Amino acid sequence: MFIRAFIFGAVLLFANVSQAQTVKPAPTASPSLEQRVADLEAYVNNSARGSDSENAKTASNISGSGPGHNGWMMTASALVLFMTLPGLALFYGGLVRQKNVLSVLAQCLGIAGLVAILWWAVGYSLVFSRGSPIIGGFKFVFLRGVDAQPNGDYSYWVSQNVFAMYQLMFAIITPALIIGAVAERIRFAAVLVFVGVWMFVVYFPLAHMVWGIDGWMNGVWNPRAKVTAIDFAGGTVVHMSSGWSALVLCALLGPRLGFRKEIMAPHSMVLCMVGAGMLWVGWYGFNAGSALGADGIAANAFTTTTLATAIASFTWAMLEYALRGKASVLGFCSGAVAGLVVITPACGYVDPTGAVIIGIVAGAVPFFACTKLKSWFHYDDALDTFGVHAVGGTLGSFLTGVLATARVNSNLVGTVAAQNTLANKLGHVLWLEQLKAIGITIALAVGASAIIGTIVKVFIGLRIAPEIERQGLDINEHGEEGYIVSG
């Protein structure tokens, strides 16, 4: 009742505030032939129409979304959901033991449903409505006013409801990544409670700071950004936040029974490879879709994503071959995911040569993080979420500051970038701004996850009982088995 009353009061408060604001008068004059041609050029170039300007007096005959850009973004939205369901579910599901495969699938499905509810209720508004530099406001609660008209703060040619659904898919996969570190031993109820709180404390504020139009760390689009960092598709928001939180949560849970004593090999490398392939395909929606239009920046992101991923996959497997004498399918799959992670923040800002450099580094550094770091410190990151996503996301965020170039994305030296000094830092000291964003992200993810995880551990319990862990989560937590073989 308290939560319901709080939300209702907040909605009334912000509704009254929004009514008190000055409403931009709608332009009424009909466009001339020259203005109509200019609108078509704006559509092709994925830029603003004349009627989108603050004091426009002339209406546009293309007043809504653009079919090509909108069509691409609906496709990209489906591709990003495809990354989680079934991509990540199968990738993680193949890596666990047979008795726990359904638990991973159930956790992915449960997170998708929970996050969708939170996103509809208030999450989208807290991330993408104007508010403070740290968190958005309540303008779009319950997706009020989120319709087929574009939100010019983010895109002039994509319907806001499509944009909201696209960003929902990011919000779904981010906490789903965490479960890889705590697989085979965490309670299903604990997953849902932890994720529900984590979204409000970590994801919504961080996503607003990095991507919100008035966000604290939105160097490309906020002229008053205090940290002029850049993150094209989620190095900090998605991979660092989930990866560093995963490390904290797996430390709170402790290792699986038999860790470092028993063989805990993946039960199906076929499922793992199928899931990894789905992740790779879906990631084009993740990275190229972050251009928010079918334009040249999207094409560059598509290209750099392909190069970095293929090269990282090859590099990881060749390191295995050189050091162990065999190149494994798991190595190819892990390298591909690492490449996807590291290129994510950079894909729309680096050229093909930069992508090649990122691919080589992405195949090498996470490889050693997963094979050496874990054995040195004895933490049970079951499916290498920390080694790939935290290490890879941190690495990618830093390399973005080193390799970004305005040759592939003129927004890096645009009007906003000139106002907040991003343009002056590009190619010189942008990596320092990236380090600031990295530090803020780690502090928020680690600190908040430690507190949330501890509270859940005390009041609900994080870990299943030892006898359930030995028997398996599938039959005990979900009443089902992944494979039933009749004799």
Q: Quote the pLDDT of residue 31.
A: 80
326 secondary structure, DSSP code: -
Structure-derived torsion over alpha carbons of residues 36, 37, 41, 44, reported in degrees to the nearest 10: 80
Q: Quote the pLDDT of residue 487.
A: 55
CA-only gyration radius of the chain, Å: 23
Q: What is the distance of C-alpha 12 from the center of its chain?
A: 31
Please list the pLDDT of the chain residue by residue as tens digits (487 residues).
434 443 444 434 334 434 333 344 555 567 888 888 888 888 888 888 877 777 777 778 887 899 999 999 999 999 999 999 999 999 999 999 999 999 999 999 999 999 999 999 999 999 999 999 999 999 999 999 999 999 999 999 999 999 999 999 999 999 999 999 999 999 999 999 999 999 999 999 999 999 999 999 999 999 999 999 999 999 999 999 999 999 999 999 999 999 999 999 999 999 999 999 999 999 999 999 999 999 999 999 999 999 999 999 999 999 999 999 999 999 999 999 999 999 999 999 999 999 999 999 999 999 999 999 999 999 999 999 999 999 999 999 999 999 999 999 999 999 999 999 999 999 999 999 999 999 999 999 999 999 999 999 999 999 999 999 999 999 999 999 999 876 5
CA distance 417 to 139: 27
Q: Quote the pLDDT of residue 34.
A: 86
Q: Quote the pLDDT of residue 14.
A: 39
Using an 8 Å Cβ cutoff, are 125 and 138 in contact? yes
3-state secondary structure of 259: coil
Q: Quote the pLDDT of residue 10.
A: 45
Q: Quote the pLDDT of residue 21.
A: 36
Q: Quote the pLDDT of residue 61.
A: 81
3-state secondary structure of 158: coil
φ and ψ of 219, to 5 deg: -65, -25
Q: Quote the pLDDT of residue 13.
A: 38
CA distance 416 to 414: 6
CA–CA–CA angle 377, 381, 387 (5° rounding): 80
In this structure, how many other beta carbons lie within 10 angstroms of the beta carbon of residue 32? 10
Q: Who's near 386: CB < 8 A, 6+ residues apart?
A: 181, 243, 244, 246, 247, 250, 369, 379
Q: Quote the pLDDT of residue 28.
A: 56
Using an 8 Å Cβ cutoff, are 318 and 204 in contact? no
| CA nearest to 94, candidates 256, 275, 263 | 275
Q: Quote the pLDDT of residue 7.
A: 43
Q: Quote the pLDDT of residue 254.
A: 96
Q: Quote the pLDDT of residue 27.
A: 57
335 residue type, one letter: G
Question: What is the pTM for the complete model shown?
Answer: 0.92
